[in-house]
Structures are given as structure tokens and as C-alpha cells.
Structure 1
């Protein structure tokens, strides 16, 4: 597709298609991770098959994407025709009537092949309000060569105490290797994706059954105190600037001994073309403290069509193409089976070619199947979501908590002061939202 101005693309202006007919331009907002970049590169094949549709891409860093997409859909501006959103947004926005459901789905799409946990998370009032591009949970990623050199063994189900012990033993900052790398960049979808799982495993809850915040409770203090100390003792410098992409780059370049994060990272780290440590990476279950419940999350990046889009039919046609079995086969032919989007279809995990290319696949599937957003902690809670709370206010609340914790990591505040500030801010937000009197 010929280059065109951002202004023209955002307005969705038509460009000339075949035989002089005007083609419909749809504007797609997506996140700048490796799987989405592959989708953008392969989308020229969709355009060749659908000459009446042209695609304009707005590719953004995760925090920026969320702000941009939320603003567009909440203000009904209609600048975006297809948006990349997670399983947090879909149920909320679907209930508000902000999304256009996928109803006329062709049989070739094989809806029943979608993993039940992901399909259920995207179904609102019996209709599929978004289609999953890839799904994930979290697990422990580690350098097998570094552990072997020290005659160390990674447990199949490690505790956080064991992780801290191993991190200290393999950390070698003098040679540019840090025992463990974790997300530190503030954001409800950045550092809170890690911190929430740690807090859950220590028995921490965001709220009690009456929506009172519990951020100054003993489990939260223990969890955040552990996180801060672990990064201080064995983490890289400048961690509060590291989100998912930055941490992935650190591990792939050989600077991290361990990393607890998204299962989707495995295909990137297993590929010699993108990872210096390919062939030296092992995988174990996500660590836990006192409980395995909520120690690993469930997530999916999905494609959804805002109700405000005037090009819904074209947008849905592309979304169904990009999340179809045929697209998975296209990625496999182009980049190999190890590069296909994971965590969406049962057939992927029965495919011998995929299982051969992705030795980590059973661990990924086990993590996804055992993560239960309806029971994120051992005690009762009024919310759904493991690394997030399924209420509209969560984006602001979660990001605020992440900012306070980042301040504790950087030494600007004590852990107790950071959690006290987060508790006060969250109480205020929940009062304004009508949850508390």
C-alpha cells in the first residue's frame, strides 16, 4: 500500500481500489509487540485477496495504545475502525454497548475450536464481542546454561523464596548478567501485571467483599516488600523504565538469568533470529508464596470493532481473517510453526508440527487452563480478573498503584508509604465511583 498521511488514515479516507472503484480504508490500532508486527507485515496478503479494503495501521506502545483506544471509544469519536483490546476491556465495553458483536461468522472460522476460557471471556450476552489474536498466561523463564554452570536446578513449581535464592546465586552484574528481570514500568498492564500475581500468591486481595481497599494489609506489604527487595538485590538498573518489551529485549540479549512473565515470550526467545539465548532457555510454572491461586494470569489480545465505526463490515472481515485457522497456517508457512500466535485454538495444541517447534507448548496450555479469573485469590472477592479488577475504574486505579510501587522500587518512598498512598487514592476513587459510602 502506498504511504499516506496519518491525517488521511485517521479520517479513514478512501483510496483507489481495483478497476477505478474506491476502496474502503479501515484504521487499525494495535500494540507494538512481535506478533502484531507479523500480522501487519502479512496483512498485504489480505489486501491482495480483498482489493476493496485498504488497511491503515496505528501501532503504539502498550500504555499509549490503551489511552488512545479508551479515549476514542469512550468519546465516540469514531476515528478507529478496529482496535486491539484485552479481555479486561471486552466484557465492560460490551455491556456498555460500545462494541459491534461478531454475528455472521463463517463456518471456516471454526468458533468451537477457540479455547473455552478465552471464548468465554469474550462472550457478552451470548455474542462474541471480540475475536482473539493470541492468548497467554505467565510462567517462569530461565537460563538453563547459567543454572547448570552453578550446579543449580529449577523446581517445576518454584516458590518465590526459591526464585530469590536462585537469582542471587546466578546474578553477575560485573559481566552484565542480572539474576532476575521483572517489569517495573508503571501501568496497570505493565508492572501491575507482575505485582498483582505476586500479591495474589501472598494471599493479598485488592478489595474485600464490600469493596474496601486492602492495599495496606499484611499480604500486600509482604508481597511488595519482597518485589522491591528482589529487584534491588538481583535486578537490573533502571527497572522502573522497563515494561514488557524492554524486559523481553534484556532477556533475549543475555542480560537476565530469570524472568517471570508472559508465556507468549517463549516463541521469541526460542528463535535464534530474535534471541541470543535460543536453545538455553527453560520454563517452569509461575512462582508462588503461600498459594498457587492467582499466581499466574489469563490474558488475550483481541480485535474488536467499535460501534462508532462506519466501516464495521470491512473491519470484521479483516479481524476474522487475522484470527482464523487459515492465518495460523499462513504464519507457519511464512515464519515457521514456532511463530504462530499461541493460546487461542485447541487445534494448535494438537498439531504435531507446532508441538515439535514449540517444546514449551504443554506448559503454556497448562498455565492457561489452570488460571481462573473468576477465583483470583483463595478468599472471596467481589471482582473478576487475576492481574486486574474487572471494573471501569481499574485503569486509573491500577496505574496509580503501579506508580506508587515504582516509587518504592526507585527509593523515592518506603513500601509502607507507597501502599498507604495507593490505599488513600483507591479509597477516594471507589468512593467517587459509588462503591463506598
Structure 2
């Protein structure tokens, strides 16, 4: 029996009586990343088997977060399934905003990578199913390194990255030594900058929840970021997030790119990447410490309690996050393109191992990321590139806007940090964390 037929049989077996009795339309809000685009393309098979239909709402990352946060906080009920991450799932679950999803009959929960499952749970209750998971690492052009006589170490430092970027930048030919996120947002530029601050020895808050953005590690990290982006980054970087930098790297315009491990499935795919044969990868860089240098994230599917179509939504979640779905993507789109980081079976599948030279590195990066121990100095929070408190979404976005303004040359690093510290302190005081 083919993988495609297996998936259809699996979907039929998991279908709930309510959905079998009459067709339903569910609305799914998701991000416009490549893996989710594939999910949309293949979802017609689920629709065909179940008789249900999907209304897709596909949004840019920052817009998605704003829309789903507003909808779930107000009980708006616009969406039956939301694409959220390891930040939102435990917080929203604890607030009673999400349906538990740990009880789907026939679903192979034991195959989920434990760290990923734990990251989507609160007090042992699972509130989202992982679609793909990631850490962060360094991608680089092996051909350019060879031509320049450079060798990328297994564990680069940020000082070495700056030196490599200086050597490889060729602005006349639109080759930029280093591409980093500049688009403002707690999950955009701050995802990278958060890890940069960690490895420079910084932290968001001390043990008493006092903001630390006015401390030296933040100044050192932001100064480094602004300096390398000005000298070696692409123009207009304040508009570049994950997707934009991915496009730059795939078209040969970046010598190095530090970002999500999930990007590997795109940049190593010759049907999508002009430089697929010349891509190398290594660990995310370190500076003063190796603590928190690489992030942890899991893009996942969750069901808001405001949905009236919970059982149909659960059936789709089970289909889209299953081992059979992973295998379907491998057959239909190529094994290098399967959603990474969620299932043990993916990393035991010889087809994937043969197609994805980065597989072991990605898995080890995800396992090594420790949200409970993200910084050199003690902190009262969990989370590597984010802080697991409800207020962080607003705080992180505000800080990201300040740093994007500094990247645009509208203010200095010191001015951006001063404004960020002041605003963060006000938010924490208003929320009752500090006096």
C-alpha cells in the first residue's frame, strides 16, 4: 500500500463521527513559510477523504501572530486551527484558551521528540501538535570559503564570523558576507538578537524580574549586530526576516546566514536553491559563553476553545502532524523537504538520512537547546530566544522595533537600549513583576 493511500486510510480511521455525518469547513490560520505552503498543497487529500473543506488564511509571521493573539484573547472564534509555537502553547493552554490535544485516538504520541512535546505542554497537558521544530545554526557557502582559503570551524565564534564576513563581502557583485534578521518583531529580529545577547553573557531579567537591557552584555551584543550588518549585510535589512533572508541565501547573495535549522530543507533542495551544491552548515556562533547561543522553536497546530468544530480540527491535526504525512511529503516533494524536528521516526528513516546531510546536526541542536537554562547568569524565566511570560510578546516586539530603528540609522545603540530598558521596566511594573 502506498504512503498516499496509508495517509488516506489513517485519516479515515481517525475521523470523528460528527465529521462523517456531514461535511464541515474549518478555517486554518498559518504562516507563509515553505513547509506550510506544502501542507496546503497536500491537504486536498485530507479534504477528499473526509469530505471536509479548509479555508486557509495564510499570513506573514508578524501579522499571523497579531491576528491569532487578538482572536484568541477575545474569544473571536475566527479560526478553528491556529499555527502557533512553543511560546504560545503552554501560556495559552494555562489560560484555558486552547483545547487539549493529547487524547486523539490512534495518534502516535510516543514518536514525538520528548523536548518538543514538553515544550508544547503545560503541567503535563499537551496543547498543540508539532508541525516542525527547529534550533538555529550557521549556513555558509563552501565554494566561497574554499576560494578565499577560509575554513569554518565546528564551533565558530562571533569574532570569527565578522572576520569571514569582511573577507567575503563584495558589494559590487551583490554578495554580502552575512545575512541576519532585521525585520522588527519578537519572533523576527529578536529571535536572533535574543540568542546573541545570551552568548554575550546577557539576560532579559535578573532574578527579581528587573530588566537588564541597560547592562554591558546588551550593549556589546547590539553594537556587534549593528556593526556587522552595516559593513557586511544587505541593504534594506530592516525589511528582512526569515523568508527574505532565505531568498537572499538561496539566490547566492549571502556568504553566511545564521538562522533556523528548518531552512536546511529549502537551501539544500536544488529545485529551490541556486547554491544547493555549495552549502555548508555548522553550529550557531558563540561569544563569551555557549549558553543560549541557539534557539528552540516548534511551529505547531492548536485548536482554540472558541472553535465549534473541535473534532474535525483534531482529525486534521492528527493527519498533518503524523509520520504518514512526513512520508507523503517525502514521496511528493522530495525527502529533503519533509518537516523536520518533531518525530523520532523521521531521523530513523533511511530515505531522509540519505537526502538530508544536515539531519543529525539539526536533531542534536534541538536536543541540546535548553529553555530551562538559557543564560550564563541565573534568571527567573524559561525560554532561550523569548521569555515565557504573557507580557513578552508586547515587550519583545517593542524592543525589536527599537533595534530595527537603530539598524536603519535612526538612533544609536545606546539610545535604542535606553528606550528599550525604560519601556520594558514600565511594562514589568504595570504587570506587577517589579515595584
TM-score by length of 2: 0.95
Structure 2 contact 104–314 (Cα < 8 Å) conserved: no
SS at 1:23 equivalent: coil
Which residue of structure 2 aligns with residue 271 of structure 1? 269
Among candidates 343, 346, 354, match of residue 345 of structure 1: 343
SS at 1:27 equivalent: strand
**Residues of 2 paired with 1:45 and 1:321: CA distance?**
10
| Structure 1: stretches of 5+ with no match in the other structure | 1-17
**Residues of 2 paired with 1:174 and 1:223: CA distance?**
28
**Residues of 2 paired with 1:146 and 1:113: CA distance?**
39
Which residue of structure 2 aligns with residue 58 of structure 1? 57
**Residues of 2 paired with 1:309 and 1:110: CA distance?**
24
Size of the aligned set, in residue pairs, is: 418
SS at 1:279 equivalent: helix
**Residues of 1 paired with 2:303 and 2:388: CA distance?**
20
Answering whether residue 276 of structure 2 is matched by residue 283 of structure 1, we say no
Which residue of structure 1 aligns with residue 28 of structure 2? 28
**Residues of 1 paired with 2:118 and 2:124: CA distance?**
9
Structure 1 residues 284-323: aligned runs within 5 Å: 284-323=282-321
Among candidates 211, 225, 241, match of residue 239 of structure 2: 241
Which residue of structure 2 aligns with residue 101 of structure 1? 100
TM-score by length of 1: 0.94
Structure 2 contact 182–241 (Cα < 8 Å) conserved: yes
Tell me the CA shift for residue 106 of structure 1: 2.6
Among candidates 329, 333, 350, match of residue 327 of structure 2: 329
Tell me the CA shift for residue 379 of structure 1: 1.2
Structure 2 contact 137–261 (Cα < 8 Å) conserved: yes
Deviations 1:34-53 (A, max 9, x none): 000000000000011101x1
Which residue of structure 1 aligns with residue 13 of structure 2? none
Among candidates 413, 416, 425, match of residue 423 of structure 2: 425
| Segment of structure 1 superposing worse, 291-300 or 403-412 | 403-412
**Residues of 2 paired with 1:349 and 1:103: CA distance?**
23
**Residues of 2 paired with 1:350 and 1:253: CA distance?**
31
SS at 2:276 equivalent: coil
| Structure 2: stretches of 5+ with no match in the other structure | 1-18
| Segment of structure 1 superposing worse, 417-426 or 94-103 | 94-103
Which residue of structure 2 aligns with residue 386 of structure 1? 384
Tell me the CA shift for residue 319 of structure 1: 0.7
Answering whether residue 352 of structure 2 is matched by residue 375 of structure 1, we say no
Cα RMSD after superposing both structures:
1.3
Structure 1 residues 31-180: aligned runs within 5 Å: 31-51=31-51, 53-107=52-106, 109-180=107-178
**Residues of 2 paired with 1:125 and 1:219: CA distance?**
33
Tell me the CA shift for residue 126 of structure 1: 2.2
Tell me the CA shift for residue 54 of structure 1: 1.0
**Residues of 2 paired with 1:218 and 1:174: CA distance?**
36
Deviations 1:343-376 (A, max 9, x none): 0011111211111100011110111111000111
Tell me the CA shift for residue 22 of structure 1: 4.7
Deviations 1:372-392 (A, max 9, x none): 001110211011100001011
Which residue of structure 2 aligns with residue 187 of structure 1? 185
**Residues of 2 paired with 1:406 and 1:326: CA distance?**
41
Which residue of structure 1 aligns with residue 9 of structure 2? none
Deviations 1:41-98 (A, max 9, x none): 00000011101x1111000000000000000000001111000000000110010010
SS at 1:283 equivalent: strand
